[in-house]
Structure 1
């Protein structure tokens, strides 16, 4: 059985972004309990040289629908815009990303196979073909940022576990 590029990426992006949305709900509840505002948690980092929680959420969306947009344009560059600084804004960015992912035409993604494109950051350039960019660069980055967001919330005392991270599994219909 062969698997399409769309199926290898999009359903998992949706699953994990929906889970991330749920994590943000739990973060908001935690902040309300301890009297912390959104910015207080959004600015937290796991280490001084890492980006904060808000950036982790933004990067998860950037390495999903942003990666698709990069393939379409032939160039992907990191999103250097200021990330959303409130839970409501983060949830809106995730909702917009989910909507765009759900609207993707599977044949468009499979049409990307073999398409040349580049990752660019300042003078640094990495040449790719689309499928290798999506599978070997964006997908690992996507998981890195979702996992880092999860770990940051755990470190801040938000009561979440592996089920919260995993989200709704795509199980066999009964």
Structure 2
């Protein structure tokens, strides 16, 4: 049995995006119960030189939906617009990414294999094959930003656990 690019990426993106959307509910409740403002939570960071929580969450959508859209267009550039400033906005953005990924045609997705595309950011203009961009750049960034957002909430005292992060594992039936 062959393993497709779609199978190697999209189900994992969906698993973690759905899990993130669910633990955002826990984080929002934690904020309300602990008296932390939504603004404080959106701005929380693990270190001063790291992106804040809301940008970390937004990056999960960017490195899934945005990366795939960039592969189809032939160019990906990071989203530099202001990130959502509320849990509702973050959940909406994740919902957009989930909806986009759910409607992808697996056969059309396979046309990305070997397709030339570019990563353009500032003075950087890096050529890639779309499949290698997704597997060696976008997916690692996706997991990095999702894990960092999760770690920020854990560091604030929110009771999210590994099963919240892993949500919806695809086990044998």
Q: TM-score higher than 0.5 here?
A: yes
Return the alpha-carbon distance in structure 1 between the equivalents of residues 40 and 107 of structure 2.
Answer: 43
TM-score, scaled relative to structure 2: 0.98
| 1:39 equivalent in structure 2 | 39
Determine the structure 2 residue equivalent to 1:113.
113
Q: CA deviation at 1:126?
A: 1.3
Aligned residue in 2 for 1:104: 104
Give the RMSD, CA atoms, in angstroms. 0.7
Moved over 2 A (4+): none
CA distance in 2, matches of 1:112, 1:151: 33
The unaligned stretches of length 5 or more in structure 2 are none
1:47-62 pair list within 5 angstroms? 47-62=47-62
Give the corresponding residue for 1:170: 170
> 2:29 corresponds to which residue?
29
Match of 1:75 in 2: 75
Q: Distance in 1 between matches of 2:40 and 2:47?
A: 16
Alignment TM-score, normalising by the size of structure 1: 0.97
Cα drift, residue 37 of structure 1: 2.0
Distance 2:30 2:74 in 1: 41
Distance 1:153 1:36 in 2: 12
1:78-157 equivalence runs, <5 A: 78-157=78-157
What is the distance in 2 between the residues matched to 1:63 and 1:22? 19
| Structure 1 CA distance for aligned equivalents of residues 76 and 130 of structure 2 | 10
